[in-house]
A and B are shown apart, each in its own frame.
Chain A
């Protein structure tokens, strides 16, 4: 018997969630906070968890506070916020495409953003215009894929197939550009291409967090409609969901969530792909689970960044860490899938 948790405030407000999903998500949120506190204490200057918390709650103005709050907190905070954004973005795309491989990377966003970044680095000779051109490249690619897949409405599978084709095309364009570029330009592009939270400061943290929070507002409204779209277009439309406008809005919000991350940190692969699936498995709840996907994404990115920064002899970009994680996940997914088919 699956038990639900029901919350009602008078006759006005009410909500319901599966008890297990709620408990698992809450536990994961606590783990994320713990991981963040540990991450704040790690580095060249090791700080105990107690001192980290003390530095966070008081403003003593000590050296410890400078290290924790000024230097490390923006990075860890962005790890949480960006992880959540990627998790949400992936959950939206996997629900829209009804496919565990659906994610903003799959419909070409990341490779489009990379093309934009490389073009601007080659044209301008510096990273000054990387953010706007990466965004333009990513969004243009996502829109192109959406339009190419449009035929009397957009269907998930077509979106993925067109996305894979466009990603492959852009991949060769990117390789060509890098081969034609000067060595230092290619190097600069490669550094950007390995997504990293390195060097992000408080102004990045403030901007990134505000944009993600702003995107949560439409998602709150769209989320319940996303659940209805899972039942099929006809059933959703019959219950009063404006199918095509809602789907376009979801693509825009999903791409935007991913775009903020790419703009500030470069492409961080696989979190959007893995987080929603992991969330589904541990909560055992049906369909898309936006909040669990967000919390899982936050936990994954904070943990990956902490490991990438502290475990190898030389700090690695978090993008490399998530690639390893994603690769392991894909192998596991394929093995699990083939076992299921053999049974």
Chain B
């Protein structure tokens, strides 16, 4: 399944973000979108997931304009983990995950065997099976985020778009979540994630898109994109890039004022 933005111009009425942007998501890839705050990476993800309509150009899902397909049909193939979601008061983890089955349900078919199996599998894949009967309000940040991921997984889509899935989590929970995404990617799902940590992006992603000012500045394999020159150009941050001693992927070491003048 391919997802492609073709010459999209997008933004909000009073604040244009990007113009004529092209981006193709390769099937089976783990694409990380990186860039400074307000560079338009989350907005681009909203465009890719049809939440924001581009003013020009189109987003194509398998070559067909996503805007012209029934939204519920798209939801069976493309799932999105938004930056912020709201858990209804008093909902349990398993009930929340069950809501991810909406695109597969109808007025008559509200809880099929397939729904039940999808929820069970999604909770197993995210390690949330034991949390099934717990109230979402009472979970820790890391557990809660895994439950939200399970809800998107229950949608059973080949494509997963994740908007800053690791923000607000401590480092151990960030890695735990990224490992889950890597596992899903190994099983054949295409993943597109907006990430803040360049080193994590370099380690987990197969393809990196670096954005600046609403445009794609560079894209390619981590070793091609995460270079001293590109990071400095995109983030205005001088740095050194060395091989990660564990994975061999690029490791960014930022230079603060003290290190620059040495």
Does B32 sit within 8 A of A, measured CB to CB? Answer: no
Of A12, A221, A234, A239, most buried by chain B (CB within 10 Å of CB) is A239
B74 contacts A284, C-beta separation under 8 Å:
no
B107 contacts A220, C-beta separation under 8 Å:
yes
Q: In whole angstroms, how far apart are the Cα atoms of A286 and B136 in the complex?
A: 11
Find the A residue at minimum CB distance from B102: A239
The answer to whether residues A240 and B109 also contact, given A231-B86, A286-B95, A287-B88 and a CB cut-off of 8 A, is no
A2 contacts B79, C-beta separation under 8 Å:
no
B108 contacts A240, C-beta separation under 8 Å:
no
Does A241 sit within 8 A of B, measured CB to CB? Answer: yes
Partner of B102 from the list A1, A8, A15, A224 (CB cut-off 8 Å) is A224
Query: Using Cβ atoms and an 8 Å threshold, which residues of chain A touch B112?
Result: 8, 11, 14
Q: In whole angstroms, how far apart are the Cα atoms of A152 and B75 in the complex?
A: 23
Q: In whole angstroms, how far apart are the Cα atoms of A286 and B100 in the complex?
A: 15
Find the A residue at minimum CB distance from B86: A232
Query: Using Cβ atoms and an 8 Å threshold, which residues of chain A touch B103?
Result: 239-240
Q: In whole angstroms, how far apart are the Cα atoms of A239 and B79 in the complex?
A: 7
Query: Using Cβ atoms and an 8 Å threshold, which residues of chain B touch A1?
Result: 133
Does B72 sit within 8 A of A, measured CB to CB? Answer: yes
Q: In whole angstroms, how far apart are the Cα atoms of A232 and B99 in the complex?
A: 12
Q: In whole angstroms, how far apart are the Cα atoms of A13 and B84 in the complex?
A: 33
Query: Using Cβ atoms and an 8 Å threshold, which residues of chain B touch A31?
Result: none
Q: Shortest CB–CB separation between residue B90 and chain A, in angstroms? A: 4
A237 contacts B51, C-beta separation under 8 Å:
yes
A235 contacts B85, C-beta separation under 8 Å:
yes
Does A242 sit within 8 A of B, measured CB to CB? Answer: yes
The answer to whether residues A242 and B71 also contact, given A15-B110, A224-B102 and a CB cut-off of 8 A, is yes
The answer to whether residues A240 and B49 also contact, given A234-B82, A286-B89, A286-B92 and a CB cut-off of 8 A, is no
Of A11, A12, A228, A231, most buried by chain B (CB within 10 Å of CB) is A231
Of A232, A240, A284, A287, most buried by chain B (CB within 10 Å of CB) is A240
Q: Shortest CB–CB separation between residue B122 and chain A, in angstroms? A: 14
Q: Shortest CB–CB separation between residue B105 and chain A, in angstroms? A: 7
Does A158 sit within 8 A of B, measured CB to CB? Answer: no
Q: Shortest CB–CB separation between residue B142 and chain A, in angstroms? A: 19
The answer to whether residues A234 and B92 also contact, given A15-B110, A239-B155 and a CB cut-off of 8 A, is no
Sample (25) of A-B pairs whose CB atoms are under 8 Å apart = A1-B133, A13-B108, A14-B111, A14-B112, A15-B111, A221-B107, A228-B99, A230-B88, A231-B87, A231-B99, A232-B82, A234-B82, A235-B80, A237-B51, A238-B49, A238-B79, A239-B72, A240-B70, A240-B73, A241-B71, A280-B90, A285-B90, A287-B88, A287-B89, A287-B90
B80 contacts A238, C-beta separation under 8 Å:
yes
Partner of B80 from the list A15, A16, A234 (CB cut-off 8 Å) is A234
Query: Using Cβ atoms and an 8 Å threshold, which residues of chain B touch A14?
Result: 108-112, 115
A2 contacts B82, C-beta separation under 8 Å:
no
Query: Using Cβ atoms and an 8 Å threshold, which residues of chain A touch B85?
Result: 231-232, 234-235
Q: In whole angstroms, how far apart are the Cα atoms of A272 and B115 in the complex?
A: 33
List residues of A (217-272) whose CB comes within 8 Å of B's CBs.
220-221, 224, 227-228, 230-232, 234-235, 237-242
Does B233 sit within 8 A of A, measured CB to CB? Answer: no
List residues of A (62-91) whose CB comes within 8 Å of B's CBs.
none
Does B91 sit within 8 A of A, measured CB to CB? Answer: yes
Query: Using Cβ atoms and an 8 Å threshold, which residues of chain B touch A238?
Result: 49, 51, 75, 79-80, 82
List residues of B (58-72) whose CB comes within 8 Å of A's CBs.
70-72
Q: In whole angstroms, how far apart are the Cα atoms of A224 and B108 in the complex?
A: 11
A286 contacts B71, C-beta separation under 8 Å:
no
B100 contacts A239, C-beta separation under 8 Å:
yes
A286 contacts B91, C-beta separation under 8 Å:
yes
Query: Using Cβ atoms and an 8 Å threshold, which residues of chain A touch B71?
Result: 237, 240-242
B88 contacts A6, C-beta separation under 8 Å:
no
Q: In whole angstroms, how far apart are the Cα atoms of A239 and B101 in the complex?
A: 9
Query: Using Cβ atoms and an 8 Å threshold, which residues of chain A touch B12?
Result: 152
Find the A residue at minimum CB distance from B79: A238
Query: Using Cβ atoms and an 8 Å threshold, which residues of chain B touch A239?
Result: 72, 75, 99-100, 102-103, 155
Q: Shortest CB–CB separation between residue B41 and chain A, in angstroms? A: 15
Q: Shortest CB–CB separation between residue A205 and chain B, in angstroms? A: 29
B111 contacts A6, C-beta separation under 8 Å:
yes
B111 contacts A227, C-beta separation under 8 Å:
no
Query: Using Cβ atoms and an 8 Å threshold, which residues of chain A touch B84?
Result: 232, 234
B107 contacts A16, C-beta separation under 8 Å:
no
A224 contacts B90, C-beta separation under 8 Å:
no
Partner of B133 from the list A2, A13, A152, A235 (CB cut-off 8 Å) is A2
Find the A residue at minimum CB distance from B135: A286
Find the B residue at minimum CB distance from A3: B133
Q: Shortest CB–CB separation between residue A245 and chain B, in angstroms? A: 11
B82 contacts A286, C-beta separation under 8 Å:
no
